[in-house]
Chains A and B, each alone.
Chain A
Amino acid sequence: MRLRVTKRQEPLGWGACLVFFGALAFSLAVSAALLALQGKPAFIGIRLLFEGAFGSRWALEDCLLKAVPIFLCALGVAVAFRLQIWNLGAEGQFALGAIGASWAALTFPALPGSYLLPLMFLAAALAGGLWGLVPAVLKLGLRVNEIIVTLMLNYIGILILEYKVYGAWKDPGSFGFPMTREFPAAAIVGNIGATRLNWGLLVCLGCGAAIALFLDRTRLGYELKASGENIRAARYARLPYGRLVLLVMALSGALAGWAGCLEASGSLHRLQPTIMAGYGYTAIVVAWLARLNPLNIGIAALLLAGLRVGVENLQLDLQVPAAFGQIMEGLILLTVLAGNFFKDYRLRWREPDDA
């Protein structure tokens, strides 16, 4: 009796959900075993993880707050990935967005919030979007591979950010430390009621819904998806491939730019090099976990944020090393992506006489 792999004819539907949570449960079980190997109480550990991520109002707030930049960046790269444009540059576009927003906040500190905040978002979208357009133009004009250009532009973007905060924008009252002045109150995205969450969450919901509608309900969105499935067929059908590339890269950059804007305005209240926490790279992981679907990206961003927040709780109470969190993250990613195999294929026992 042997195993036989066959391609599924019908999509899995709700079974896909089952596969996802099965994979999640499997990776958590392995993590628990790893905890036990270190001599830590495994069940308590997993419970601490959940408590830290979703177990209280505070935890949920922390988790949502952490998910905001991840979600926006992931949404952006997912749009590009749909067209099979491999934008690995969300990190740099995030940096440029933060620079754009900070430029607006530092140049027009006297403007009232109702003008300044929209101006910051506009500047962030422009800076991030234009940064995203560079690899698109190079790809279309000179056939330069966008994977390399987007990746390299990350380093340049971060260096520009450092150049500004170590130089012209450095707060004279910071004892020489690299940070801008604190933004004026009008440049800070307000909190929702008494929570730690800011209105950036609403921006996320709006962007998520808009992208979902764009992909599913508009002609351009359809053309984008069609071109992504088969570029040559799309060209044959005279779909505007070049314009689509420009569009997705600008959109991708603008969304990452908004994430940068929200981090600077909502979380840090200034620009400083530590704003670069690697969300642009996390976004790539999240986009793939979610199979490029906007709603799923929301769920995946929240789960990954929950994992990162929860692991801190686990660290604090059980004193496990920080690397354990990364191991868990890797495990989950590996099992969930491997689980995707079962969405497209099925395993069957092959009877000896079958062959």
Chain B
Amino acid sequence: MRRWLPILLIIALMTAGTLPAAEKELKVGFVYVSPIGDAGWSYAHDLGRQHIAALPGVQTAYVEAVPEGADAERVILNMARKNFDVIFATSFGYMDPMLKVAKQFPKTVFMHCSGFKLHQNMGNYFGRMYQARYLSGMVAGAMTQKKILGYVAAFPIPEVIRGINAFTLGAQAVAPDVQVRVVWTKTWYDPATEKEAAKSLLDVGADVIAQHQDSPGPQEAAQEAGAYAIGYNSDMTAFAPKAHLVAPVWNWGPFYEQIANEVRDGSWKSRSDWYGMEKGIVALSPMTDLVPRTVQDMVLAKKAEIVAGTATVFKGPVSDQTGTLRIAAGESASDEALLGMNWFVQGVVGTTE
């Protein structure tokens, strides 16, 4: 008997994990493009996942650091085969792979973040991050001495360009002659590259660094140079307490809860959701003590207007870098124009290529 004991133990161990769950739970899967430890984009989505994982009857799982392209298709397919009820794919490059899988699994709900394609069982969603970027731009405009702001940006795609434009408009609302210098890193998450990019901006005189990056690299560079910094994705104060002013942040929890509930009670319909600060998907982190009280009050007042819908970020007259009028006086940019935005507003130094 004794010699069989280890084998029995092994068999017991192997079967322990495969016991069926007691009741039918909603299985929700998440696909992330970077590790969740990044304090950035994927981290923010994972906070949303943790929010719904705490709900009764919801079971969540994620796969992190999934490259966009052929690998993503396999990961999403694997989740669909394992009978997940809802799958959230949180990077633009997952759009086509997800659509392919969605067509094969009509009973599964697929949700794609930041894209534009729809299918009967695939919806897409995003947040109007540009609203919070505008507010962070106001903070930057109020804090800069040299009237030069640095912006470390990932890729020249509409989402990022829109953010830079909103940030610039916000800064100009406070300091009309301000200049926003843009450097493209062509990475989403590469702490060393992003830190170097921030240093290059500091070298040309920028005294506030903003970022559309998932790592806190630019924050650290700003602190080392004694400049200010504006974070992104989540509150990045901890990484640069002497530099960090504020951060436009994501808050996905309530949205994920809403979708989970819709799928559970069968009311979910394929659609594009593009919510802003009014729904709380996009928020502004608390401003640190480095920002004077008067500036904080001014920004919060504007925030209240945006939340109430009485203020719009992209409201004419807005001209591009060449001086051509892009949004006529009194008009607001349509969602379509925002989603395809590929030009910089006047005051941005850099190219969209």
Contact = CB atoms under 8 A, between A and B. Distances in A.
B328 interface: no
A316 B79 contact: yes
Contact of B74 (A43, A66, A315): A66
A274 B14 CA distance: 38
B35 interface: yes
A15 interface: no
Contact of B61 (A176, A274, A317): A317
Contact of B64 (A177, A178, A267, A315): A315
A269 B77 CA distance: 18
A43 B13 contact: yes
A296 to B, nearest CB: 24
Contacts of A166: 156, 353
A275 B186 contact: no
B61 A319 contact: yes
B157 A44 contact: no
Interface in B180-197: 186
Contact of A321 (B13, B35, B157): B35
B96 A268 contact: yes
A274 B75 contact: no
Nearest to A314: B63
Nearest to A163: B353
Interface in B119-169: 155-158, 161
Interface string A294-322: 00000000000000010011011101011
Which 5 residue pairs are nearest across A and B when measured between Cβ atoms? A322-B65, A274-B68, A267-B70, A274-B69, A44-B17
A274 B33 CA distance: 12
B236 to A, nearest CB: 21
A336 interface: no
Given A66-B74, A316-B79, A321-B64, A277 B69 contact: yes
B69 A323 contact: no
Q: Which has the most chain B C-beta neighbours within 10 Å: A62, A162, A175, A312? A: A175
A316 B63 contact: yes
Interface string A266-294: 01111010110100000000000000000
A176 B70 contact: no
Interface string B50-64: 000000000001111
Given A44-B18, A277-B69, A316-B62, 12 more contacts: A41-B17, A52-B78, A62-B78, A175-B158, A176-B342, A268-B69, A268-B96, A277-B71, A316-B61, A316-B75, A321-B35, A322-B35
A177 B61 CA distance: 29
A195 to B, nearest CB: 13
A243 interface: no
A322 B65 CA distance: 6
A316 B87 CA distance: 12
B134 to A, nearest CB: 20
A177 B14 contact: no
Interface string A214-245: 00000000000000000000000000000000
Contacts of A313: 78
Contacts of A58: 77, 81
B67 A322 contact: no
A182 to B, nearest CB: 8
A277 B92 CA distance: 16
B120 to A, nearest CB: 20
A175 B340 contact: yes
B293 interface: no
A22 B268 CA distance: 52
Interface string B5-20: 0000010011011100
Nearest to B15: A44
A330 interface: no
A277 B17 CA distance: 33
Interface of B: 10, 13-14, 16-18, 29, 35-37, 61-71, 73-75, 77-79, 81-82, 92-93, 96, 116, 155-158, 161, 186, 339-342, 353
21 contacts: A41-B16, A44-B17, A47-B14, A62-B74, A62-B77, A66-B70, A162-B186, A177-B157, A177-B158, A267-B70, A267-B73, A270-B96, A277-B67, A277-B71, A312-B66, A312-B75, A313-B78, A316-B75, A317-B61, A321-B35, A322-B35
A343 B160 CA distance: 54
B249 to A, nearest CB: 23
B172 to A, nearest CB: 23
A267 B73 CA distance: 9
A177 B155 CA distance: 9
Given A177-B158, A322-B64, A44 B13 contact: yes
A44 B10 CA distance: 10
A266 to B, nearest CB: 9
Contact of B69 (A52, A177, A267, A321): A267
B181 to A, nearest CB: 20
B92 A65 contact: no
A263 interface: yes
A175 B116 contact: yes
Given A47-B14, A274-B67, A312 B157 contact: no
A177 B63 contact: no
A163 to B, nearest CB: 9
Nearest to A59: B78
Contacts of B63: 312, 315-316, 322
Given A167-B353, A267-B69, A267-B70, A43 B155 contact: no
A166 B353 CA distance: 7
A274 to B, nearest CB: 4
A317 to B, nearest CB: 7
B214 to A, nearest CB: 15
A62 B78 CA distance: 10
Contacts of B75: 312, 316
Contact of A319 (B10, B62, B341): B62
A162 B71 CA distance: 20
Contacts of A43: 10, 13-14
Contacts of B14: 43-44, 47
B63 to A, nearest CB: 5
Nearest to B29: A316
A320 to B, nearest CB: 10
Contacts of B81: 58
A201 to B, nearest CB: 14
A271 to B, nearest CB: 11
Contacts of B79: 316
Q: Which has the most chain B C-beta neighbours within 10 Å: A41, A263, A312, A319? A: A312
